[in-house]
Amino acid sequence: MFPHTWRHHWALDEDPFVQEDADKDTVLARVPMEAVHSSFDRLYGSTDSPGPGIVFGEKGSGKSSLRLAMKRRLENDADARALYVEYIEFDSFLTEARKADRLPPNGQKTPRRVVERYLLADHIDAMLSLGVSKLADEIADGKHPSASSMSPKHKASLVALTGLYYRSDERSGDEIDRGLRRVLKQPSGRSFLTKLVIFLAAVAGVAVGGAAIADSFNVELPFEVQESGQWRVLGGILLSAAGLLAWIPGLVAQRRASKATKAVRVVPRDPDPLAALLLRIPSSVRRDLALPEGPAVGTRLVLLQRFIAILHDVGYRSFWVLMDRIDEATVLSGRADLMRPFVESLLEHRLLQFEGMALKLFLPIELSRLYLGASPDALKSMRLDKASSIPELRWTGQELSQVAAQRLRAVRPDGTPLEEPGARLMDFFAEEIDENQVRETLSELGTPRLAFGFLGALMAEHARELSDDLPQDDPAWRIPQRRFEILRASWLDRARGLRRALN
């Protein structure tokens, strides 16, 4: 019998256990939000007073499903009003950091040098890039009309942050600039006529002033000077100075833009567009504008503070960063010796306890030594006692059984009564299989990936042995004790092998 035929008998539209990757799991999105690990509420915390959360778990333990559950709750909670970003794609940031350090792409020591030089400032820059890009797109799309009434200082900060950090597949830099100008009701900068007048004034000033000075010293010129005198020398100098002074703001803006774009190593930037944006900002506001300086964390925290203040202006209450899938970054290659220095700088109380921000870290179990094996001084710096930390994500057999039942119901046709067979996990097993036996097996497997993989394999293997003309009321539709024991032994051996390799 084909598995589809067997599932049709049980009123299952699809395999509830086929997908191992949470981000590609279409069934997970249909499972009720309440069907989560018991530690979820502790990790999530409160949207009224957002704070850090850190969870360590082995591969397949459900870290990504917790992240997705957190994302769903933020999206569905109207009172949360939180801007969230998922910090899960690290390759582009690490690649830009490598280029900034001029390291060879295929060098043997390149991965270690990249992660060792990837500092807290780089992490904050990456988070700001994700957050600023998302907010700027929303404002340009007209989702936040209140942005037009922000203070000049906050408008200037938003313009500068966008010039520094915006990176999106939806819009180019020019497109987001035009979109923000329209919403913020800002001028486009100096007109062409103004620039032309400044240029001509500078040229005329240099020419007249130079001619007058040369004439006063009796220097022969290739053209005739009709008049001379001290007034002409002074007038030429003044005209020259006026013309040159008109260019000074542009030179200062260019210098600040070059310094800032060089400091942000994880986002490729040309300083010229940022310099043009800075010139649009009134000089009284521009003087107080914070821009990054080298690897300094202090300026990044100021930028983060101003970004959160802008979020408050448009109606958001907090900024959430969900960091996951670290072991999937190409540069890190799932190696603990590379992941450890990459993550270690994040465990800094200044960032973890930052007002208005909730940093949630979903980390591989290999990195738990950062916390469990830390020195007293390191623990004081981390202050993880103030973070909602889960040293190891463990599941009970009961929890896995309940989530499995919810997945079964999620793939049944709408309106199918719960009383009909197929809505409960034990419906699929023969009577000689005890419910405690199933729960103990799921508990020993330990993770959703292994537990659901076992259940999916069990159902598929059983269906293959059945004939197509099996009567609807035949007890053979249920999984017998013998098949359960055979696959149980096989999957428990697999689980032990994976854990030995991990440890």
For 375-404, the pLDDT digits (tens) are 677 666 666 666 788 989 999 999 999 999
Quote the CA–CA distance of 271 and 259 in Å, as a whole number.
8
DSSP-assigned beta bridge partners for residue 321: 85, 359
**Structural contact between residues 323 and 87, judged by C-beta atoms closer than 8 angstroms:** yes
Q: Give the contacts of 497 (CB within 8 A, at least 6 positions apart).
A: none
Calculate mean pLDDT across residues 93-101: 96
Residue 450's nearest CA partner among 65, 29, 62, 16 is 62
Least confident of 61-70, 95-104, 337-346, 416-425: 416-425
Instruction: Say what the pTM is.
Output: 0.87
Q: Give the contacts of 303 (CB within 8 A, at least 6 positions apart).
A: 124, 128, 161, 290, 291, 292
Percent of the chain with pLDDT over 90: 68
Position 221 scores a pLDDT of: 47
Task: Map residue 363 onto helix, strand or coil.
Answer: strand
Calculate mean pLDDT across residues 355-359: 97
Position 197 scores a pLDDT of: 56
pLDDT of residue 180 exceeding 50: yes
Q: Is 227 left (phi over 0), alpha (psi -120 to 50) or beta?
A: beta
Q: Helices 152-165 and 248-263 meet at what angle, rounded to 10? A: 60
Helices (H), 320-447: 336-344, 349-352, 369-372, 376-382, 397-410, 435-445
Position 195 scores a pLDDT of: 54
pLDDT of residue 205 exceeding 80: no
Could you read off the pLDDT of 275-297 as tens digits, one per residue? 888 888 887 788 888 899 999 99
State in words which class domain 49-118+317-390 has: alpha beta
CATH 3.40.50 residue ranges in the chain?
49-118+317-390
**Structural contact between residues 42 and 486, judged by C-beta atoms closer than 8 angstroms:** no
Quote the CA–CA distance of 195 and 54 in Å, as a whole number.
53
Quickly state the pLDDT bin for 225 (edges 50, 70, 90): very low
DSSP-assigned beta bridge partners for residue 320: 84, 358
Of how many residues is the chain composed?
A: 503
**Structural contact between residues 55 and 362, judged by C-beta atoms closer than 8 angstroms:** yes
